[in-house]
Structure formats: C-alpha cells, structure tokens
Structure 1
Amino acid sequence: MVHQGVNPRASGWSVTAPPRLWADLQQHLFQDDRDEHGAVILAGQADGPRGHRLLARELLIAEDNVDYVAGTIGYRALRPEFVRDAALRARAEQLAYLAVHSHFGTTSVSFSPIDLASHERGYPALRKITKQIVGGLVFTPRAGAGDLWLPDGTRDTLAEVVIPGGNLLRLAPSPVPVEASDARHDRQARLFGDRGQQAFTRMRVAVVGLGGVGSIVTELLARLGVGHLVLIDADTIDETNLPRLIAADLDDVDARKTELAVRNARRANPGTKLTVINEEAQHPDARQAIATCDWIFLAADTNAARHWVDRTVHQYLIPATQAGVKIPVDEAGVIGRIHVAIRQLIPGSGCMWCNGLINPTELALDMLPSHVRQQARYVDDIPAPSVIALNSLAASEAVNHFMLAVTNLHTDSGEHSLLRFPRSGRQICQQSRRDPTCGTCSDHGVLARGTAA
C-alpha cells in the first residue's frame, strides 16, 4: 500500500499532481520493459499547510531514444534540445522546471551519486535560464524524492508528493514514521491503523458554511481527530436554525454560527486547532484560508461559495467535497424528489462550471455587498425546508468519503459522487463532465497556477 498519512517531516517542499497527470506519468515511467524513462513537469507554486507547494500543471513526456537517450556519463539523460525547449517554456509560463525519471524499487527511493552530480553540473545554468525553481524528481511506484534548486541560490529536498484523487495518495522518499494513536481514538485506529489516524491529526481541513450540514460535518471531523479546522461562515443563528444545528439552544439565538461550531469542535476534541473566519466564502480572508488547506468541505449553497471553492480546488490542487440536501416543495405544498447530493471535487477533473452547477447571474448577485444584494433581487428568497436527519445523511456520506480517501481505503481511486433519494431508497453514482477548454479545470485555465493565476 502507498504510504498513508501526512509525512511528519513534510514541513518544507511538496509536489501535488492532478490524478490525470499522475496517471499519464505512471504509464510512461513504469512500463512493462522495466527500463528507466524520463519526462519534465512544469509546475506552479503556492503556500500549503506545512510549507511550500509545487503544483504540477503540465507534463512533457520525453520519448524514449528520441528525447530520453543514452547518457555520456549516466545511464540515460534528457536530450539537450528537449531540456532547452522545456526550460524556455518554464520561463515564459513562470513555472518551475522539474526533470523526472524512474528508479527500480518499491517503498524507498533516492538519487544516485551520478544523478546528483548531473544536477550540480546542469541546474545552476537552468536556473539562470528559467529564473524559476528547477529540480529533479525520481519515482518508484510507491515512493518519490526531489532535489530542488531555488531562485535565491539555495537548495532543498522534497518532503512528499501528493496525488488528490479518489484516494489521497502521498509518496515519501522512504516509509513515514508512525506514532501510536491517542487512546481516545483506539477504536478508530483499529480500522485506520496508527498511520491512518496520524494522517487526520496532521491535516488542515476547511468547512465552508456552518448551517445544517456544515455544523454536523464540523462535529464529525473533530471527533475523527482532524488536527486543524478552518471554520467559515458570516451568518448568525436565528430561532428557525435551532432544530438543525448540533447542540444549539435558545441562548444561541443571535450568536454567530462560528461560535457554536467552535464550542462543538472543542467539546468533541479539545486538541483540535481552530481558525475562525466570520466572513462569506468570497471574502479575501476566506479565499486565502481555504487555499492553504489539505481538504475543503463545501456546505454553503451560494453560487459565490461554489465558485470560489471550485476555483481553489483546481487553481491550488486541493480536493474538496460538496454536501447538501434539496427538498423541493411547490406553491401548492407538493413535495418533489428529495435528494442528498455528495460531489467530490477532484483537481483537474470536471469543475462545477463544466457541470452546470453555478448560475452566473446568481453569482454576480452574490458578489455584491450584502446591503446591496437584496435590493438587486427581483423577488425575496423563500427559506427552503431543512431537516436535521436529512442533513445528517449528507454530512455522514461526505465525511465517510473523506476518511476513506485519506486512509486509502477506497477500493478504487475514481470519483465518488452520488445522488441519494431517501423517499425511494434509490442512489445514482455521478461522473463529472469536463470541457477541455474550460477556464477553470483545463490546461487553458487556472489549473495548478497557484499564486500566479
């Protein structure tokens, strides 16, 4: 199994690769011929929860015996013309240049002395050409290591490589040390293992929207042992909210929803670190906070929240889960198809724009100042029905997916999105559509651009 969990040594640099790019790279590097193969990754940059992140945006495959040829010193090398073209592209796009090759092995990998000597000969010159980070990556199917040369003249190693798919894969240079789980989480660790439980403790997770679904998600994440929660909501509690907010009482009326979420999280897990943002999802503070997380839960139903979380997923390669409940009731009181929606947002896969889940007119209204927003609407919003038992279905399904993904317990690494219809018991699995020219999730848009977008 791939090294589960967050590497405790991962406090420096990491590389995150979209599942599509990683699948293409794996297919090229680990062919049946068991020979060495090469490529170049061009990557954006961003800050992450434990250090600096490189975001794999583009994969340049080095064709065997054409671009990746017999070396004059080492076994194989990238052809100089291929290196030149990739370096010039990195400079033009303001992206890091990362040369990639494969090694034999399983759970550990490192550069050979010949590899490191070639870096010392070539990377200072490449760094001058690109004016960006340059470096090398070496992989086995279960491990990854990196040697990074930074623009300021310093040099650093890579702590881990992250692939945020249906299972959240993390590749380290060698197996990650495991700490014994806290006694409080003994029963969970019997499922996840100490390594899996350790993963939750070291994660930073955002919950955007702390209403009926978000309040339950917060409680479940705290009890699961997530080490740092970022809680985002601008609303206050009114009397009609009380039946669907976990542990709310009459004294909470007019309090902020974040205050209740903080109280519940601390009661559930006193060791959880909390960051509180009393703003809507479109506020710069909220957008900056979610861009430095390991995972995002989207439990707010505004088009602005959908847009900015969706953009963050692809721009910063951060996985997210949207969870919600729809209870349609017409003017005559006729109840329509109640459904619970769980959508996994995978970096580089179909975004919410591609799947028609963001209304551009409503988004424009959401982005107006709050005191202007209601005046700009033609009709008043009518509160939708909401029931805690239905909300709990959405929250539980969303957190179940998260915990299985983090601990690599999903039986496949594909998308896990679904619609559940409680009145009939029917369930439909969904697969996101992707427009290859999309400005959000494609190579033509902000995908993996990080802070440069």
Structure 2
Amino acid sequence: MVHHAVNPPTPGWSLTIPPRLWSDLQQHLFRLDDDEHGAVILAGRADGPRGPRLLARELILAADGLDYVEGTTGYRALKAEFVRDAALRARDEKLAYLAVHNHFGTTTVGFSRTDLASHDRGYPALSKITGQIVGGLVLTPQAAAGDFWLPDRTRVTPTEVVIPGGNLIRLTSAPGSVVASDARHDRQARLFGDRGQHAFGRMRVAVVGLGGVGSIVTELLARLGVGHLDLIDRDTADETNLARLLAAEPDDIGKPKTELAARNARRANPKISLTLIPENVQHPTALQAIAACDWIFLAADTNAARHWVNETVHRYLIPATQAGVKIPVDPLGQVGRIHVAVRHQIPGNGCMWCNGLINPTELAVDMLPNDLQKQARYLDEIPAPSVIALNSLAAGEAVNHFMFAITNLHADEHEHSLLHFPRTGQRIPQQSRRDSACRTCSDGGLMAQGGHAEAS
C-alpha cells in the first residue's frame, strides 16, 4: 500500500502515534463492517522540528453499542460517561484528550458539518474540565484530519499524523502538490519520486558521534539531500583519527569533529542547514536538539549516549538508528568474530535496556565529569581497532534503512535490525525483546511523556 505520507510536511501542530498503538487503532476503526467506530487518545506534548507535537500515549477504545452509540444530532457519538471518564484521566495525568473516529475513503478525509458542530458544543466544556488540549481526529487508512482546541481558546488544525514504524508514515488530510526535484538529485528522484526526494529536504536529523561511522553517515545524509543536520560530538580529531574520518587532513588535528563533519556536509550539499553541538549527548543543548528532530543516528558507543538516545526515542516518539562495528582482538593479536550492528529503534518497541545493550555500571562512569571518569576507570583503556571500510558497512546499512523508511519503500512495517559478520558474509536479522515493566518503553513508563529530558 502506498501512503501519501511522503508529501512534504508543513510547519504547524502534529500528532505522533507509536506503531503498536496505531496497529490497535487500525484494527478497531477499519473493519469490514462499513461502519464508524470511536476511541480516545490521551497524548503528551513536546516541541518538534516544525512546530508543537502531541505524542499519543494511551488508546482508549470505545465499545460499539456501549461506549460508541447512536447520536442525537449525528450518526454516532461517544457516550457521555465514556467522555467524562476519559476527560478526567486527561486532567489528572495532564494529557491532551483527542476523540477519534473513522470516515470512509482513502487518501482524503475531513470532518463533516455535524462533526464540527459537535466540537463547538462540547470542546469548550471539555477544555475547562481538563485544563489541557482537547480535540478531534478523523481517519481513513491513508489520511487524517484534526481539530485541536488549546487551553487559551486558540483553535488549530494539525498538519499531519506521523507513525514512526519500519516505514515513516505521514498522514495528511489530502495529497499535497508535487515539487520537482533539482538536477543535483535527478538520479535519486528516479527511485524516490519528487515527493520522496522533497521529503528528505524537510527532514531534521541528529547524528550523535562523528567518528568513523558518524562522519560517513553525515556525508551520506548530506548527499541524499537531508535539509538539516544536528551534529553532536565533543571530541577533537587526533592523528589516529585521520585514516577513518572522511576528507580529514593533517592540518585538521586538534579541530572539533563537528567542524570537520560540517565542512564535508556543506561540500556535499551547499544548501544544507547545520547545527553544531560540540558536547556530549547528555549536555542540555544536545538533549534539546535530539528531542526536537525527525530521526536520530547513534554512532557513539558510550553507554551514556545509548541511554539518552534510547530515552529520547520512547519519551518523544522519535525513531533512531544505532550503527557500529565491533572488532575483537585478544592480547595475543588473535582476531575474533568481527560484526557490524545496525539496530532500528522504533518507539514503543523493545528498548536498549530491555535488550541488555546498556551497562548500568559503565553508564554511571560515563555520566561523571571527564577528569573523574579517568579516575573511576583506574587503568587507561586500550583503543579499539577501527577500519574505515568496516565503518562504511555500518553507515551504508544505516542510511539505506533511513532512506527506505522516509520514502515508504520498505516491503513491510516491521523492525529492520541486523548483525552482519563480514568475515563469513553472514547476516542475521534481529528482533527486539520488550519488557512489559520497563520504565522506558512500557506503556506505564516514559512512553510519549514529552516534556524536557535533563541529564542528572
């Protein structure tokens, strides 16, 4: 199924729905009975790359004939008691209240006059009860329209509904116009289409870690035509970095890696917009940046970087890709099983904590000031082997996944993570495990809370 999700998003409010919640909502609304069905979404709030975002945290399904009944002024309506209970929960949990129902059709949808009249009658009272954003959402399988009422009585129309799964689906109320791609990206647009190519230009992407893998990822994203990159790394280049940093020169020793990555990105795409953050990811400026982007590439291998990117994925419903290379060499010089890991982090799926990818002891050390980190580790660490050709495997896999997700070219909506063993050519798909009690990715954890994550 081809979504018009690749239409370029415009500035304004939006709603992001995690894939598992979207799947449940689809099954409830889009049945074979040719009828309308209803539900309520409770949502957190956060700033996004193009405006404020609502983050769907919980789905409350309305049972047909019990909670979703014949209306007095329209065809169907949520029962008063159901609305009251959901509104009180929105008030108590400080979440937005969104009433949802379906219409018939495919790529175009909008509220009926009866729908809008019911909003005029009911939403001012609901706004007073909750003290939060209230609104409505109407959906078809391939389109979405909304009507949000803010606490200050402002009424806004959201520009899109985003589902950040294996394919990054963007639903709008109607298909947008097609913008012709420039000659620089002609060959790419022959694969992605003009809409797909323009979608890259509207993306804001963060790259955390600008070493061997991150420098290549930055170059590839710039050449794809990504519109804005947030480049995050506090390190400077030294002599041992030159062989694996793209286009690095001897005169670059001592320069921030952010500057080298920015130079390459501008050379590859003179129109690109860049934000350079020469800090660790736990710095407040970096945390704010990754919480307000469309996608995160994690190319830093510290436990602190994993922890904060992991939390951002689930708290703000932002997809991420972790990419790295492991080259085990024992003290005698024996080379072990080299592997390339590319993990797609989908909001609401099993997180890095659930899958044992964060070491709590190492995380505690990573969070110390730099001088104390060295004391806590007692011994100088032995530098890990790194080779640009192996790094390019990780970067290529990661960016290929990204470009297919943005243009909806993945053959399925599932997670696309893998381990690649270059010495044997073996490729093993990976599926995330999910702990139902996880404080980060479970329904009762940080999922879709929004707000502002701060390092402590």
Please indicate the TM-score interval, normalised by the length of the shorter structure: over 0.9
| 8 Å CA contact 2:6, 2:408 repeated in 1 | no
Shift of the 91–161 alpha-carbon distance from structure 1 to 2, 3 Å rule, reads same
CA deviation profile, 1:130-184 (whole Å, cap 9, x unmatched): 0000000000010000000000111011110000000000000000222100110
Measure the CA separation in 1 of the matches of 2:326 and 2:334. 14
Question: How many Å separate the matches in 1 of 2:7 and 2:153?
Answer: 28
Within a 5 Å distance, the mapping from 1:276-315 to structure 2 comes to 276-315=276-315
- Cα deviation 1:266-304 (Å, max 9, x = unaligned): 000000000000000111110000000000000000000
Matched residue, 1:4: 5
Q: Does the 8 Å contact 2:40/2:62 carry over to 1?
A: yes
Task: State the AA in 1 paired with 2:191.
Answer: L
| 2:385 maps to 1:385 | yes
In the alignment, which residue of structure 2 is the partner of 1:428? Answer: 428
Report how far residue 332 of structure 1 moved. 1.1
Code of the aligned partner of 2:291: A
- In 2, the alpha carbon distance for the partners of 1:359 and 1:20 equals 27
State the Cα deviation string for residues 407-428 of structure 1 (Å, max 9, x = none).
Answer: 0000001000000000000010
What displacement does 1:378 show?
2.7
Deviations 1:41-78 (A, max 9, x none): 00000000000100000000000101000001100000
**Paired position in structure 2 for 1:361:** 361
1: distance between equivalents of 2:7 and 2:321?
A: 19
Partner Cα separation in structure 1 for residue 7 and residue 363 of structure 2: 35
Deviations 1:384-443 (A, max 9, x none): 000000000000000000000000000001000000000000010000000011000011
Match of 1:51 in 2: 51
Unaligned runs of 5+ in 2: none
Deviations for 1:247-283, whole angstroms, at most 9, x for unmatched residues? 0010111111011001000000000000000000111
CA contact (8 A) 1:4 1:195 kept: no
How far residue 25 of structure 1 moved from its aligned partner, in angstroms, is 0.1
- Report the Cα distance in structure 2 between the residues aligned to 1:37 and 1:188, rounded to whole angstroms: 41
Amino acid at match of 1:2: H
Opposite residue 267 of structure 1, the aligned amino acid is: R
> Structure 1: any 5+ residue segments left out of the alignment?
none
Displacement of 1:4: 3.1
Residues 260 and 452 (structure 1), Cα distance of their counterparts in 2 relative to 1, 3 Å cut = closer
Structure 1 residue 452 displacement after superposition: 6.6
Question: What's 2:19 paired with?
Answer: 19
**For residues 177-235 of structure 1, what are the alpha-carbon distances to aligned partners after superposition, in whole Å with 9 as ceiling and x for unaligned?**
22100110000000000000000000000000000000000000000000000000000
What pairs with 1:146-225 in structure 2 (closer than 5 Å)?
Answer: 146-225=146-225
Task: Write out aligned runs for 1:77-88 (5 A).
Answer: 77-88=77-88
Number of residues of Structure 1 aligned to a counterpart in Structure 2: 452
Matched, 1:442 2:442: yes
Flag the 1:54–1:82 CA change in 2: closer, same or farther, 3 A.
same
Displacement of 1:6: 5.0
Percent of residue pairs identical = 75
Counterparts of 2:97 and 2:223 in 1: how far apart (Å)?
A: 41
Amino acid at match of 1:380: D
**Number of the residue aligned with 1:417:** 417
Shift in Å at residue 379 of structure 1? 2.3
Name the CA distance, whole Å, in 1 between partners of 2:295 and 2:202.
Answer: 12
**CA distance in structure 2 between the partners assigned to 1:89 and 1:113 by the alignment:** 28
Instruction: Map 1:219-234 to 2 at 5 A.
Output: 219-234=219-234
The alignment's TM-score, normalised by the length of structure 1, stands at 0.99
Q: Is the 8 A contact 2:167 2:407 kept in 1?
A: yes
Distance 2:392 2:8 in 1: 32
Whether contact under 8 Å (2:288, 2:452) holds in the other structure is no
SS of 1:128's equivalent in the other structure is helix
Residue of structure 2 equivalent to 1:351? 351
1:247 lines up with 2:247 in the alignment:
yes
Question: 2:63 and 2:71 mapped to 1: Cα distance?
Answer: 15
Aligned-pair CA distance for 1:5:
2.4
SS in 2 for 1:98: strand
Name segments (4+ residues, structure 1) moved above 2 Å.
4-8
Secondary structure of the structure 1 residue equivalent to 2:265:
helix
RMSD: 0.8
Rounded Cα–Cα distance in structure 2 between residues aligned with 1:49 and 1:395: 24
- For 1:6-155, what aligned pairs fall within 5 Å after superposition? 7-8=8-9, 10-155=10-155
